Chains A and B, each alone.
Chain A
Amino acid sequence: MISPDILTDNWDLYLEGIRNTLSASLLALAGSFILGVIVAIMRITSFRLLNILGAVYVEFFRNIPLLLVVYIFFLGLPALGLTLNGFISGTLGLMVYTSAYIAEAVRAGIQSVPIGQTEAARSSGLTYTQTMRHVVLPQAVKIVIPPITNQFLNLVKNSSILSVVSGFDLMYFGDIVNSYTYDTVSSYAFVAVFYLILTIPLSIASNALERRLLRSG
């Protein structure tokens, strides 16, 4: 039913796909982390306008499909005169989409630190930045890490969206292999195995981190 030849004959294609899937995921993770932290900070500062902008950003990107975000980069920007290839628009789309989720995770983490601690730190003479750096953030990071690991898992799975815009990822090369071998079951079975190799360790790590957080209370 599943012929190993498909794998050995197309090893190079699959490998190229895995490499691109990994680099898209890592780039998008790094980018969405930075963007997400910025948006989270916008949402908790005392500037009303920034609060609103941050909220609009999060709500907008969390409530539309990832494919649409990718299309904004892949189809929308060329209409405005800026053409990006599939890999770049896919990665940018993933980055922007995921950043909305990371912003929410970071905001929840920061706000989970009791306000009394901030007040205590401020009244014992620490500046706002010092309070953030030495009191709030170290505690928030612990809470934020499990949901971010989970987002990274989603990111790896979601990176398959690149195939829709010819982004040369694992799913894309799976389609290529399928289109000329006509062995759909085998072509996609190997794609599935490679995705599982990437996602299962992340899934285990995410569960372990969550359990550890629960234990430490």
Chain B
Amino acid sequence: MDFTSAYSRDNLSFLLEGFGLTLWLALLAIIFSFVLGCVLGIIRYAKVPVLSPIVGLFVELVRNLPLLLLIFFARFGLPELGVSLPPFWAAITALTLFEAAMIAEIVRSGLNSVDKGWVEAARSSGLSYGQTLQQIILPIGLRRMVPPIVSQFISLLKDTSLTVVITLGEMMHHANIVMGQNSRIVFPILLLVAFMYFIVNYVLSLFARRLEARQT
């Protein structure tokens, strides 16, 4: 094992550049999947005719497939169907759809956990369904959803490493390139990459735990 040549200036800056792209991928996918997941979850909860069953089918399909398959499909399958996306956006699409399906389930069960009695009370005191949703169900449900959603974001950050199969230049891809130079630096590089993922995810998980502790 050769730590000195593994952690050379060139290698470190190359890995850091990859880490930047990892974080950027994760951030964009977090934003998109959060918005889409909330919309899908609310539609599924509200039992809108026609729309809810379609969303339900989509969520169940995507949730039960490996993300790797979606990444491959977005990158190589979509062009065959006439949708050509640059690799970066193919990755964002796959990550967003997969994580949105997960978040939709969290949102739906969070909303379902709101006491039916409160909903009935709100409705019988004259609030419309939309008002009840907006003023009673969403604020209470959302607070309960925050910890599992943060955990989902941690999964998402880890899942960005799967885009290594379509070589975008995120951290795992750059780590692969660096490790290819010399077998004696493989272990030190794996350790460093693990450390970088760990720091970000651990901070996020501490944050999730604090939110959880505050609720109870």
Whether A associates with B in a native complex is yes
Tell me which residues across on chain A come within 8 A of B187, comparing CB atoms.
76, 79-80
Interface size on B, residues (CB 8 A): 38
Given contacts A178-B76, A184-B80, A185-B81, contact A195 B69 (CB under 8 A): yes
Flag the segment in A46-54, A61-69, A117-125 that touches B. Answer: A61-69
Contact of A79 among B158, B172, B183, B202 (CB under 8 A): B183
Tell me which residues across on chain B come within 8 A of A184, comparing CB atoms.
73, 76-77, 80
Q: In the bound complex, do residue A188 and residue B159 qualify as a contact, i.e. CB atoms below 8 Å apart?
A: no
Query: CB of B198 within 8 A of chain A?
Result: yes
- Of all chain B residues, the one with the shortest Cβ separation from A79 is B186
Considering the chains assembled together, what is the distance between the CA atoms of A75 and B159 in angstroms?
A: 19
Q: In the bound complex, do residue B68 and residue A63 qualify as a contact, i.e. CB atoms below 8 Å apart?
A: no
Contact of A67 among B69, B172, B202 (CB under 8 A): B172
Considering the chains assembled together, what is the distance between the CA atoms of A191 and B77 in angstroms?
A: 13
Q: In the bound complex, do residue A64 and residue B197 qualify as a contact, i.e. CB atoms below 8 Å apart?
A: yes
Kindly provide the distance from the CB of A199 to the nearest chain B CB, expressed in whole angstroms: 4
Interface residues of A in 174-207 (CB under 8 A from B): 174-175, 178, 183-185, 188, 191-192, 195-196, 199-200, 203
Query: CB of B27 within 8 A of chain A?
Result: no
Q: Which of B63, B72, B193, B205: most chain A Cβ within 10 A?
A: B72
Considering the chains assembled together, what is the distance between the CA atoms of A156 and B53 in angstroms?
A: 26
Query: CB of A138 within 8 A of chain B?
Result: no
Kindly provide the distance from the CB of A72 to the nearest chain B CB, expressed in whole angstroms: 6
Tell me which residues across on chain A come within 8 A of B193, comparing CB atoms.
68
Q: In the bound complex, do residue A164 and residue B190 qualify as a contact, i.e. CB atoms below 8 Å apart?
A: no
Tell me which residues across on chain A come within 8 A of B65, comparing CB atoms.
157, 192, 195-196, 199
- Of all chain B residues, the one with the shortest Cβ separation from A159 is B66
Q: In the bound complex, do residue B158 and residue A64 qualify as a contact, i.e. CB atoms below 8 Å apart?
A: yes
Query: CB of B104 within 8 A of chain A?
Result: no
Interface residues of A in 119-163 (CB under 8 A from B): 153, 157-161, 163
Kindly provide the distance from the CB of A184 to the nearest chain B CB, expressed in whole angstroms: 5
Query: CB of A171 within 8 A of chain B?
Result: yes
Query: CB of B67 within 8 A of chain A?
Result: yes
Q: Which of B64, B76, B205: most chain A Cβ within 10 A?
A: B64
Q: Which of B61, B66, B158, B162: most chain A Cβ within 10 A?
A: B66
Q: In the bound complex, do residue B81 and residue A158 qualify as a contact, i.e. CB atoms below 8 Å apart?
A: no
Contact of B64 among A65, A67, A199 (CB under 8 A): A199
Q: In the bound complex, do residue A157 and residue B158 qualify as a contact, i.e. CB atoms below 8 Å apart?
A: no
Name the 9 nearest CB pairs between A and B, nearest first: A160-B66, A63-B201, A65-B161, A199-B64, A65-B158, A79-B186, A157-B66, A160-B68, A67-B161
Beyond the given A80-B187, A195-B69, please list 10 additional residue pairs across the A-B interface where CB-CB is below 8 A: A59-B202, A63-B198, A67-B172, A76-B187, A79-B184, A159-B66, A184-B77, A188-B69, A199-B64, A200-B60
